[in-house]
Structure 1
Amino acid sequence: MNTPQRLATQRSRWSASHNPLVVQFWLLGLDVMHGHLLGRGFSKATSPAGSSLYTLDGLTLHSKGLWLTMPQVVLHYLRPREAFYQLSPQHDPFGSGLRPPSEAAFLKRAEGLALARPHLLEHEVWIVQQHGPDARAALLRQRLPPRIRRLVPAWEAWMAGRHSEIWTPPGLRQDQASFPPFRLTDSPA
């Protein structure tokens, strides 16, 4: 029987051993198809490596990864390798054909996820504000590619309860706010 403690342990194990960005990028691809990135204010530019680049507030998304420009460093997530790299701010991240240069420093996934999470979470909150609290759950209930379906629990654990880190509904204190759970099913009673 699945108790709340067992479910929490399972979610923790999923998030530690599986990459939630697999699901996040699948959702971002749907957002591109539905115009949500442009609707949120991302600018669109052509990329030398095909596909398009979408940029907003230092975050650049591409079908092959993301770049997050920070004051001291550029975080690069290379989607085909499912790996994070640290680039110097002087490096042109798009000039390398979407591959990290030889001098790029490898980052552990947990470190890269921690740096990228607030920026991706802002987008998820925008989705909730624009399309309702069940928008993502509805997409994740559809027939999904097998790998996406397997990694949904990792994405849910990564997003679970994190809305309050960046957004509280107007008129409420943070401790009064109710946030969508980013879960497809409720825990059994």
Structure 2
Amino acid sequence: MARFHTLRRCPLTAQFWFLGLDARQGDLTLRGFHKSPTPHGSSRYTLDGLSLHSAGLTLLLPGEPLHFNRRTQTFTRGGRTVPATEGRLHLRAALHAHEAWIAARHGPAYRESLVTLHRPPRPVMGALEPWRAYLSCVPRLIRD
């Protein structure tokens, strides 16, 4: 398994941990993500312009796609660095849609139950509050 330097306060640190669990439990493919092998690391999952991989993600946007590199915790677009707040703003709708689907499928307390069951690593624990705030527009998504 690849090791990544993660920022404890970055909501995507927690989001990627949850997405990894979703992939292992089959929720990504059940939701409609197309799974394809890659030469490095895990498989790539793609749905509606969002492409996920353990090393990062790509979101198709008008003009140039937005890339997030999980190892460096940076966003780029057209070869230029994008501020993290802007990158996360572009991603919010796609991640919100996924979390709403997960909550509808498993119930509003599901994510918290995963935290209790799997006891995530410290960087993920440190990123949970920023993740909750980032996706706070999802009613009753995280806490019950």
1:27 aligns with 18
Give me the identity figure in percent: 40
Cα displacement (A) at 1:114: 0.1
User: Equivalent of 1:180, from 136, 140, 144?
Assistant: 140
**1: distance between equivalents of 2:120 and 2:42?**
22
1:114 aligns with 89
State the AA in 1 paired with 2:127: L
List alignment gaps of at least 5 residues for structure 2.
1-7
Which structure has the larger Rg over C-alpha atoms?
1
Q: Contact (CA 8 Å) 1:140, 1:152: kept in 2 or not? A: no
**1: distance between equivalents of 2:84 and 2:116?**
27
Secondary structure of the residue aligned to 1:80 is: coil
User: Equivalent of 1:131, from 92, 106, 110?
Assistant: 106
List alignment gaps of at least 5 residues for structure 1.
1-16, 88-103, 164-178, 185-189
State the AA in 2 paired with 1:32: A
The count of residues paired between Structure 1 and Structure 2 equals 136
Secondary structure of the residue aligned to 1:72 is: coil
Q: Contact (CA 8 Å) 1:41, 1:56: kept in 2 or not? A: yes
Secondary structure of the residue aligned to 1:117 is: helix
User: Equivalent of 2:133, from 143, 157, 170?
Assistant: 157
TM-score computed with the length of structure 1 as normaliser: 0.69
Secondary structure of the residue aligned to 1:125 is: helix
Cα displacement (A) at 1:128: 0.7
**2: distance between equivalents of 1:57 and 1:141?**
31
1:82 correspondence with 2:58 = no
Secondary structure of the residue aligned to 2:40 is: coil
Cα displacement (A) at 1:181: 4.9
Cα displacement (A) at 1:48: 2.4
State the AA in 2 paired with 1:46: P
Query: CA, structure 1 residues 110+134, in 2 after alignment: closer, same or farther (shift >3 Å)?
Result: same
TM-score computed with the length of structure 2 as normaliser: 0.89
CA RMSD of aligned residues (A): 1.5
Cα displacement (A) at 1:24: 0.1
State the AA in 2 paired with 1:69: L
Q: Deviations over 1:96-150 (max 9, x none)?
A: xxxxxxxx10000000000011101100000011111111111123422111111
